C-alpha cells in the first residue's frame, strides 16, 4: 500500500476533500491543517504538494508517486517546495522574509510553488504579519499549507484567510493497519498501538531496530518477577542497565513506559476487557502474580520513578529502590 492509500485510510475525509478540490480545479491558495499531534498533517501537506506538482496523476487525481516530482518531494529535495519549521522555540521574521522573496519568483521547473509552514502557531507576531501580507494577495500557482497542533494559538487573521481542514485522531485499528502495511510485524505493531496513536512516533518505533530488543528486556523483567523475584535485582544489573544504560535518562524512561504498557494490558485482561489489539504475550503470561489493586499501585510507582529520573535522581539507585516496591507491592499501601 502506498503513501496515498495509507493516508486515505487514516484521514479519508481530508484526502477526499483535497482530491475533489484538485480534480475540480477548486484548490484553495492557502490551507490550515489542524489537529492533534501525530494525525498525519505534515504527511498530508507533502502529499498535497505531490498532487499539485505531479505530472502523471491518475484519473482519480492522486499522485503517481514515481515521477521525478513525486520522488523529490517525498525525499525533501524539490526546488519548488519550501518548508519552514520552528527555529528553536519560534518561527522567526527572517524565515518569513525568505519565503516572501520566494513568493516573488516563479517556480524553477514550472509556474507552481508550494510553501509548507509546520507548527505555524509558533510564528512570532512579526513573522505571522509578514505571512499574512503574502497570502492576502496570492499569486497564481502558489500554494501555502500551514499545519498546527494548536489551532487556537493561530492568529485569527491567518485562520480567516485559509481553508481550514480538521484532522481526526487516529484509531488504534487504523494505526495497526498502517504499521503492518509498512512492513512492521503484527506482533510489534500491537505493542506500538498500545503505546501511542501518534502516526509518526508509531512509525519511528516500528522502524527502530532496538525497539524489539527493548520490548524483550521488558518482557524478561516481568517473567523474572513471575518466577524468582530475588533474581530480579541481579537481572536489573545484568540485563536492564546493560540495555538501557546507567546514564541515558530518555532510554530508561522509555523502557519504563514499555513496562507500563505491558502492565496495563495485563490489568485490562484481569478486569475482563476483551480487546483484539491486546499484546500477544498476554495469552501466555501468569496473570495471578499481582492483584488488580497492586497493578494500579505499581503503575503509579513507575510514573513516580520516571519523574525522578527526569529530575536527575541517580538512575541505578532509583530503579533498585523501585524494584523493591514492585517485588513487594504491599509496600505501596495498596490494601
Q: Which residue has the higher pLDDT, 111 or 48?
A: 48
Q: pLDDT tens, 27-62?
A: 999 999 999 888 889 999 999 999 999 988 877 777
Q: Name the band, by pLDDT with cuts 50, 70 and 90, for residue 330.
A: low
Alpha helices in 33-67, H assignment, sequence order: 41-53
At 2 the pLDDT is: 53
Tell me what the mean pLDDT of segment 186-195 comes to.
93
Cell readout for 137 is 494577495
Provide mean pLDDT across the span 58-69.
83
Inform me whether the pLDDT recorded for 82 exceeds 80: yes
What does the pLDDT read at residue 1?
Answer: 38
Confidence of residue 331 (pLDDT cuts 50, 70, 90): low
Q: State the cell numbers at 324.
A: 523493591
Report pLDDT digits (tens) over 96-106. 888 888 888 77
In the chain, the largest separation of any two C-alpha atoms, in whole Å, equals 72
- Name the phi and psi angles at 148, rounded to 5: -160, 145
Mean pLDDT value across residues 159-165: 94
| pLDDT tens, position by position, 212-241 | 999 999 999 988 888 887 888 898 999 999
| Range with the largest mean pLDDT of 98-102, 159-163, 169-173 | 159-163
> Distance of CA 87 to CAs 38, 79, 93, 122, Å?
20, 21, 11, 9
Amino acid at each position: 500500500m502506498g503513501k496515498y492509500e495509507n493516508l486515505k485510510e487514516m484521514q479519508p475525509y481530508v484526502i477526499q476533500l483535497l482530491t475533489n478540490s484538485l480534480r475540480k480545479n477548486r484548490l484553495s491558495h492557502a490551507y490550515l491543517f489542524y489537529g492533534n499531534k501525530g494525525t498525519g498533517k505534515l504527511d498530508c501537506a507533502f502529499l498535497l504538494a505531490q498532487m499539485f506538482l505531479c505530472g502523471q496523476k491518475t484519473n482519480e487525481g492522486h499522485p503517481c508517486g514515481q515521477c521525478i516530482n513525486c520522488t523529490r518531494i517525498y525525499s525533501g529535495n524539490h526546488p519548488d517546495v519550501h518548508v519552514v519549521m520552528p527555529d528553536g522555540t519560534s518561527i522567526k521574521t527572517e524565515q518569513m522574509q525568505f519565503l516572501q522573496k520566494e513568493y516573488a519568483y516563479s517556480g524553477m521547473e514550472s509556474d507552481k510553488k508550494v510553501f509548507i509552514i509546520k507548527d505555524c502557531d509558533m510564528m512570532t507576531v512579526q513573522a505571522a504579519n509578514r505571512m499574512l501580507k503574502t497570502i492576502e494577495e496570492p499569486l497564481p500557482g502558489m500554494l501555502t499549507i500551514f499545519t498546527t497542533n494548536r489551532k487556537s494559538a493561530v492568529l485569527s487573521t491567518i485562520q480567516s484567510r485559509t481553508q481550514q481542514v480538521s484532522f481526526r485522531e487516529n484509531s488504534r485499528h487504523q494505526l495497526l493497519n498502517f504499521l503492518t502495511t509498512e512492513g512492521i510485524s503484527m506482533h510489534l505493531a500491537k505493542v506500538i498501538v498500545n503505546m501511542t496513536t501518534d502516526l509518526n512516533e508509531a512509525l519511528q518505533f516500528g522502524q527502530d531496530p532496538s525497539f524489539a530488543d527493548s520490548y524483550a528486556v521488558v518482557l524478561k523483567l516481568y517473567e523474572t518477577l513471575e518466577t524468582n523475584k530475588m533474581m530480579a535485582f541481579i537481572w536489573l544489573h545484568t540485563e536492564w542497565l546493560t540495555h538501557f544504560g546507567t546514564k541515558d535518562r530518555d532510554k530508561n524512561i522509555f523502557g519504563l513506559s514499555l513496562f507500563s504498557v505491558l502492565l496495563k494490558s495485563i490489568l485490562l485482561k484481569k478486569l475482563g476487557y476483551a480487546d483484539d489489539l491486546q499484546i500477544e504475550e498476554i495469552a501466555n503470561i501468569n496473570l495471578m502474580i499481582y492483584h488488580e489493586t497492586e497493578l494500579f499501585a505499581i503503575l503509579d510507582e513507575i510514573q513516580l520513578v520516571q519523574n525522578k529520573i527526569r529530575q536527575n535522581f541517580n538512575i541505578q539507585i532509583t530503579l533498585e529502590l523501585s524494584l523493591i516496591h514492585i517485588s513487594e507491592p504491599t509496600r505501596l499501601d495498596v490494601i
